[in-house]
Every structure is written in C-alpha cells, then in structure tokens.
Amino acid sequence: MPAKNIGIKGVEPPAKECNDPKCPWHGGVKVRGTILQGVVVSAKMHNTVVVRHDYVKYIRKFRRYERRHKHIHAHNPPCINAKEGDVVIIGETRPLSKTVSFVVLGIVKRSGER
Ligand SMILES: [Zn+2]
C-alpha cells in the first residue's frame, strides 16, 4: 500500500511501507488538531516514543517569557521508526491508547549516533 496524502505540508512520506493500522501514511489514522516539533527522549516502548516539546510562555507580571517543556507520548509507526535523539514532527489524532493521542509524521533530523 503506497503512502497516502495526509494533507499536511512540510512532511515527506517515509521511504519504507508498513501495514500498521495506526500509521498516518499507511493505516487508518487521521491527523487533525495540533502539529508540534520535538525531540525523542525515549524509544523504549513498543511502537511508542516520548517526545519532549519545548515552548515559551509569556508571563505578564514580569513581561518576559519563561521556557517550558512537556513530554508527549506519540505513536511511532514501523515505517518511520524514530530513535532516541531524533527531531520529529508529531500530529494530534484520535486517542490511540490511554496516554497516546499523537503520532509521529516524520523525522526532521536524525540523531548523529547510529
Ligand atoms: Zn507506515
């Protein structure tokens, strides 16, 4: 099954194919809502990665920004197979499990060590 058009600019379809039903390119998962960029901090779960997303929040009292971050669980389809240290684009989907409602769409920059 070739990769379908997921309607999101800035991400290229993966070179490999897979038959994962939770893959945005080859399965039945639709991406809608938030699109974020982050770094994979853990890839130890089966087909799931933890992504660290850094952002700034404006604090009105001090008229300055403070840096914040959050850890997001994202489904990692076998055709993309993101590893620890990779910079990835993730997109919001329907809840795929108790803690996962994002899916990895593509890798921006692979980590140097592999
Ligand atoms: Zn796939």
What pLDDT sits at residue 111?
82
**Closest residue by Cα to residue 89 from 19, 28, 3, 25:** 25
CA of 19 from ligand 1 middle (Å) equals 6
Q: Supply the mean pLDDT for the chain.
A: 93
Domain assignment present for 114: no
What pLDDT does residue 114 have? 55
In a domain, 21, yes or no: no
Mean pLDDT, rounded, for 83-89: 96
> Total domain count for the chain?
1
Q: Is 85 exposed, middle or buried (0-12, 13-18, 19+ CB in 10 A)?
A: middle
Q: What is the pTM of this model?
A: 0.89
Question: Is residue 14 in some structural domain?
Answer: no
Q: Is the pLDDT of residue 29 over 90?
A: yes
Tell me the mean pLDDT in the region 58-77: 97
Q: Within a domain: residue 46? A: yes
16 lies in some domain? no
pLDDT at position 70:
96
Spacing, Cα 44 to ligand 1 middle (Å):
19
pLDDT value, residue 113: 63
pLDDT (0 to 100) of residue 5: 86
Average pLDDT value for residue range 46-67: 97
Tell me how far the alpha carbon of residue 3 lies from the centroid of ligand 1, in angstroms.
7
Instruction: Measure 47 CA to ligand 1 centroid, in angstroms.
Output: 11
Structural domain range at position 97? 35-109
Contacts of 32 (CB under 8 A, 6+ apart): 91, 92, 93
CATH at 63: 2.40.50.1000
